[in-house]
Chains A and B, each alone.
Chain A
Amino acid sequence: MNACADEAAVAARTSPPRIVTERGQREVFCGLTGIIWLHRKLQDAFFLVVGSRTCAHLIQSAAGVMIFAEPRFATAIIGERDLAGLADANAELDRVVSELLARRPDTRLLFLVGSCPSEVIKLDLSRAAQRLSRQFMPRVRVLNYSGSGIETTFTQGEDACLAALVNELPELAAAAPKSLLIVGTLADVIEDQFRRLFAALGIERVDFLPPRRATELPAVGANTRFLLAQPFLADTARALEARGARRIAAPFPLGVEGTTLWFEAAAREWQIDAAHAHSVTAAASERAARALERHRPRLAGKSIFFFPDSQLEVPLARFLARELSMRLIEVGTPYLHREHLAEELALLPAATQITEGQHVDRQLDRCRAAQPDLAVCGLGLANPLEAEGIVTKWSIEFVFTPIQGYEQAADLAELCARPLIRQSLLAV
């Protein structure tokens, strides 16, 4: 597989991806959306959006039918009185937070999440968070981050949230042995799989960010090495580096190859013998490769078009092209973090077309002209494309479904194959 990677690297040098930046209407959620998966992961945290009715409606609509008893998120809707200065917005916020914490005494960590309106009126949520922290500590820690659509796109909300958490992590003692931090929300089941593999490799201290509970924040310091599990964590990585931690460069753990390279990068950092590393991952990687083969006939040779959404597009495209022989027509991504994605870009087929940013109408024109076998897009575009005869896969499922690691590689392939299977089944 390394040989294969090297070949691709050569190809990429001779014919690197063609990256075009586009500006125009973006058809992507804002960072508030991340609350939907973050609040499930951080079980003792509460997310309070300080925003408008639009913000509340966005989260509710993106969460779809998943109406929980009383979710661990809510919106403090800014009213006319707040804007007209009739009510002091800070005093109002304090009142809402007190009300909320009285209702939800199980909360240990409260995030004040900034929105476009709160940012345009320059409501200082970091000062509010400090003030409220002083009031509610030690029971509740209050942090803030921006999930606004003017600052963040979809998954960048998670980045902003984790970056805010990094400042709260305890200091790892200078004398502490080297420890590994896995960064980016993963399903619990995947965390457990990864823990077992790291233990088998011989890496003992492994922590995850975000942790399952806010009371279990991992320590970080100069002896921390971190691996990104998600490709959208620019600010979090920068904050960790500011705390002395060092990033281990690697592709992302999507697909068999990506997962192997990801584990191998950690193994190299720990100077673990390559043969040992191989013996640890071999069984799982062979099983995963076998499971993938089932989906190959459905996907091989089929063309795929990615609309920008989660920033997972580049690693997904790499997986689908290299392990399932799909043809990449266009890989859209809201942002391209060239440094974090360097290893991914090197693995892409020669001259892959990447579009950073979006002009949705022109992109739709290109998609229609290309008539891909499968288009990966957001919920607003899926049915209209289907109605035009283009089969689609909702990109949001890639953030809600466990897809990382060996055991999920076939699930990921299946997610992409399902719309094609369905299309072949239907005779109406």
Chain B
Amino acid sequence: MKAQASAEQQTAAKTGADLLVEAMIAQGVETLFGYPGGAVLPIYDAIYRAEGSFDHILPRHEQGAIHAAEGYARVSGKAGVVIGTSGPGATNLVTGIADAMMDSIPLVIFTGQVAKGVIGTDAFQESDIMGITTPITKHNYQVQEIEDLPRIVNEAFHIATTGRPGPVVVDIPKDISSTVHEKQVDSEFHLPGYQPTVKPNPLQINKLHDALVEAKKPVVLSGSGVIHAGASEELKTFVQNYQLPVTTTLLGLGSYPGSCDLSLGMAGMHGTYSANTALYECDLLINIGSRFDDRLTGNLKHFAPNATIAHIDIDPAEIGKNIPTQIPIVSDARAALVSLNEKPVKGLDHKGWMEAISQNKVDYPLWHDLPEEAIVPQWLMQKVYEYTDGKAVVTTDVGQHQMWAAQYYHFDRPNRWVTSGGLGTMGYGFPAAIGAQLADMDSTCVAVVGDGGFQMTMQELSVLQERKLPVKVLIVNNQALGMVRQWQETFYSERYSESIIDVQPDFVKLAESYQIAGYKMETQEELLEVLPEVLADDQPAVIDCRVLQKENVYPMIAPGKGLHEMIGVKR
């Protein structure tokens, strides 16, 4: 009897949308970020009927949904799941999809589509989202048959989260999600064209080990591949074993403890002198999970000119793409580090190198002015670090404040730093904080945003209000598109074209209109008084922190220049 009942249940009539919901539950999806509309009505109906299965977050713009999903993915390590309707719903997601592609963020995005019969007729709210997203997704699907749906959902999660992670779009025509289907469907998949290499070639590991024990000036460059692979512990062991200096990329912050002695901080355009100099002078560069982005390397001609390059990456296409590589290792970062750590440890002959590096750290630290009263952003970041004990989840928008946060907040753990690196998407920081907070309700989550970028997605304050999410929005308010202003100052003879914006909303009143506490701080004294408490409580807050407009991010490698041509190293 029992067997019969379950067999009946299995073949009970279900819509495509029900199959989708079931598949998501089977994938362990708990949180959805989405926005309804005509083409996803059947999906929203199925979500309604599956009451209690998901926590559905409704942003006020689809861009908010997808950045929130990215923040969620960064902090939780799981795929972020997004739903948008056809046409404008889907196109509003495009920036976030491109962002996730650049930064290897695992996302599964379900878009509604007009019914199959009218695809290609310019139907109401039809857009060719397959065509639009093909170049900015790891993979995309348009579901053609209802039987394929569960399998495609499983493939999408598999592809998004394995190998080098990335966004996968699943476009679902409305007739597929609304059609009732009675047959049992198969959700098994086989992807012969997708078999990422996760284990390193032992010969290549030997080669790297040989190079390492010979090296006089080794340095490790750690990228977000280390974070994706969950390899921070293995990295620590490796680095400790050989006493190696470590620098990270912007996205790699937290992959190795930033406050540790062997850490040189971030490298690249606004990296530290010691990090960039180590990259310039090294004789062995061990890149683990970074893609040698141009903001890191500067002029390729002057990048690690005397070094043997070893590059560990799960994506073979990244190896040799920008920098000729003598020791390529296609592998998951963790697997490679485990293999390396199995090799006999030998003390290196690199005392002189380590001393020079330490001396650089002492002689050329990050610097900034500290006026009497006014708040400078670098000092602000140090205070945030101090008051949150270095333990917060920090998200940022894009601009000067992002670089200051990267320079002054030392992340000791992975998955605490949420920023838009490759695409540099303004409007990212605040919605990303919503997702980040949802992924870790126990931590303080600070969204460090610019006055410019916050205004691109600040409508998501509604979500804080609705969910009582204790995100602290810290507006580093220089009344300017600061990074643009800095470049205009430096490279365009101070012609501040469209970058000084002194007309702004009253951010305190804005917050209050969402029933969120708003604070304004203009002096150091005010900050010292207000900030510790605001950061410590469990309520959402918007903090309008007025900072000196003319501060610049230093040091800097100007575009086209090499690692050894930094400006602003000393005041």
A and B bind? no
